[in-house]
Amino acid sequence: MVQELKPISKIASKVQASTTLTIDAMFKEMKLNGIDVVGFGAGEPDFPTPDRIKDAAITAIFKNKTKYTPASGLPKLKKAVCYRFKQDFDLDYEPNQIVVTSGAKHVLYTALQVLCDYHDEVIIGAPYWVSYSEMVRQAGAIPVLCEAGEEHHFKIEPAALEAVITDKTKVFMMNSPSNPTGMVYTKEELAAIAEVCCRHNLYVIADDIYSNLIYDGLEFYSLAQFGEDMKNRTIVVNGVSKSYAMTGWRIGYAACNPYLAKMMSNYLSHSISNPCSVSQYAAIEALTGPQNDIEEMRKAFELRRNHLVERMNRIDGVSCLKPQGAFYVMMNMKSFIGKTMYGHVIESDEDFAQLFLEKGLVATVPCTSFAAPGYIRWSYATSMEEIDKGLDRLEAFIKNA
Ligand code: PMP
Ligand code: GLU
């Protein structure tokens, strides 16, 4: 007889699967089954990892760099991260302020585990990337949303941030350029947000993973750049996944004050031990080698964005703002809510995305999971041909409904 087991952890039992990864898995399976589906689901550059980076990894393997490394990363990689922070953002960090782990996702997760106690509140600028709220809950803390709508270009304002701060607020998390909105905060906007964070003595997690993907000649600013007090309270998160087309290598990193870095490193020493050694050698080359390959990719993303936004706004019933960074567009589909399409009443962006996948054979992500109902996220980290195919299908999907 098999006995009924005790319930698993309350925290774990409430965790939802990542929508982005679920849709990506569905898309890849449909493709494997020979279905002609077009994918705008996961935010993953379609470019191959540059050869110079792959060569560095192959060399590392043949030089037997295949053993454990320090938990928070190789000293040489930490130096390389410091070098990039200085070059790219004029931010000074020492290697003892750097923590490297398996992807920026795990950096964020570790930072929240280290900062939060049960019932602490973490403010998240919304719309937000789906994993933020789940990671906060996994740390036993409470996600509190600070929302901004399309009329504010999806950017939160300092007064709105201040309005949700309570005596339980511990951390503020933000992401610019943003996933899913693609919006980029200006220097002035960030300065005003930084002032609120300092005045209320909050920790800040600045997710700068898309810092290299900025268009229209705009300049990137990190929240850590707004004075010593702000830098001291900020954990800057970045990594190689998006900028260097290295999503599968799983290398992300944080820069923060030495105490927080030490605490994160201790935490990691009992969880993952260290990120993959070979990937770390690849990341050293990514960060210290010639950077022209990333500029080529950035330019390609900018052209794709221009084309996608321009064509999407010519299609009846949908519209989008022109994002200035990352590789996402949020399509407003609110005009379809309450309408019948293919015999189904569309009650939400989730219904629309589901039907668009089934009938239109296009994979996109409904934005309810990003706290932005009424929108559909398109990742344009795919070729121009696929973008046109997807938009052709959107037109036909709407017309034939
Ligand atoms: N932050 C944001 C905003 C992201 O979109 C992603 C995408 N995966 C990550 C962090 C995590 O990146 P990584 O692949 O390095 O874990
Ligand atoms: N961050 C990407 C996305 O939003 C990759 C998938 C994931 O890790 O969520 O699609």
Q: Residue 317 C-alpha to ligand 1 middle, in angstroms? A: 31
Tell me which residues have their CB closer than 6 angstroms to ligand 1: 43, 103-105, 129, 175, 179, 207, 209, 239, 241, 247, 252
Q: Residue 185 C-alpha to ligand 2 middle, in angstroms? A: 21
Ligand 1 atom 5 nearest Cα: 179
The ligand whose atoms approach the alpha carbon of 247 most closely is 1
The ligand whose atoms approach the alpha carbon of 242 most closely is 1
Number of H helices, E strands in the chain: 14, 15
Q: Residue 209 C-alpha to ligand 2 middle, in angstroms? A: 11
CA 186 to chain centre: 19
Closest ligand 1 atom, residue 241 Cα:
15
Closest ligand 2 atom, residue 379 Cα:
10
State the burial class of residue 394 (Cβ atoms within 10 Å of its Cβ: 0-12, 13-18, 19+).
buried
pLDDT of residue 16: 86
Would you say 222 and 209 are in contact if contact means Cβ atoms under 8 Å apart? no
Give residue 140's region: left, alpha or beta (phi > 0; psi -120 to 50): left
**Total residues found in the chain within this entry:** 401
Closest ligand 2 atom, residue 41 Cα:
10
348 lines ligand 2 (CB under 6 A): no
Q: Residue 344 C-alpha to ligand 1 middle, in angstroms? A: 34
pLDDT of residue 375: 98
Query: How far is Cα 19 from Cα 220, in angstroms, rounded to an integer?
Result: 28
pLDDT of residue 286: 97
Q: Residue 264 C-alpha to ligand 2 middle, in angstroms? A: 23
Please compute, for residue 138, the number of CA atoms within 13 A of its CA located in the half-sphere on the CB side.
Answer: 17
* Dihedral over Cα of 320, 322, 324, 329: its sign: positive
pLDDT of residue 21: 87
Q: Which residues contact 40 (CB under 8 A, 6 or more apart)?
A: 362, 363, 364, 365, 377, 378, 379, 380, 382, 390
18 lines ligand 2 (CB under 6 A): yes
Query: How far is Cα 255 from Cα 223, in angstroms, rounded to an integer?
Result: 12
The ligand whose atoms approach the alpha carbon of 23 most closely is 2
Closest ligand 2 atom, residue 105 Cα:
8
pLDDT by 10s per residue, the chain, length 401: 999 999 999 999 998 888 888 888 888 899 999 999 999 998 999 999 999 999 999 999 999 999 999 999 999 999 999 999 999 999 999 999 999 999 999 999 999 999 999 999 999 999 999 999 999 999 999 999 999 999 999 999 999 999 999 999 999 999 999 999 999 999 999 999 999 999 999 999 999 999 999 999 999 999 999 999 999 999 999 999 999 999 999 999 999 999 999 999 999 999 999 999 999 999 999 999 999 998 999 999 999 999 999 999 999 999 999 999 999 999 999 999 999 999 999 999 999 999 999 999 999 999 999 999 999 999 999 999 999 999 999 999 999 98
Q: Which residues contact 32 (CB under 8 A, 6 or more apart)?
A: none
Q: Between helices 104-115 and 258-269, what is the axis angle to 10°?
A: 110
Which of 15, 16, 19, 24 has most ligand 2 atoms within 8 Å of its beta carbon, as the pocket-test mutant? 24
Q: Residue 115 C-alpha to ligand 2 middle, in angstroms? A: 23
Please compute, for residue 272, the number of CA atoms within 13 A of its CA located in the half-sphere on the CB side.
Answer: 22
Closest ligand 2 atom, residue 130 Cα:
9
Q: What is the DSSP letter of 16?
A: P
Write down all domains in the chain, each with its CATH number in brackets: 10-48+293-399 (3.90.1150.10), 67-290 (3.40.640.10)
pLDDT of residue 17: 86
Would you say 274 and 73 are in contact if contact means Cβ atoms under 8 Å apart? yes
Segment holding 107, helix H or strand E: helix 104-115
- Which stretches of 165-252 are DSSP H helices? 187-199, 228-233
Q: 3-class SS at 27?
A: helix
pTM across the whole model: 0.95
Q: Which residues contact 242 (CB under 8 A, 6 or more apart)?
A: 43, 45, 209, 210, 212, 213, 326, 327
Q: 3-class SS at 344?
A: strand
- What is the phi/psi pair of residue 341, to 5°? -130, 130
How far apart, in Å, do the first and last CA atoms of the chain sit?
A: 53
pLDDT of residue 26: 87
21 lines ligand 2 (CB under 6 A): yes
pLDDT of residue 329: 97
Q: Residue 206 C-alpha to ligand 1 middle, in angstroms? A: 12
**Strands, E assignment, 213-341:** 234-239, 252-255, 319-320, 328-332, 340-341
Longest pairwise C-alpha distance within the chain: 68
The ligand whose atoms approach the alpha carbon of 241 most closely is 1
Which of 19, 23, 44, 105 has most ligand 1 atoms within 8 Å of its beta carbon, as the pocket-test mutant? 105
pLDDT of residue 123: 98
Ligand 2 atom 1 nearest Cα: 43
Would you say 206 and 194 are in contact if contact means Cβ atoms under 8 Å apart? no
Q: Residue 346 C-alpha to ligand 1 middle, in angstroms? A: 30
128 lines ligand 2 (CB under 6 A): no
Pairing of strands 169-175, 340-341: unpaired
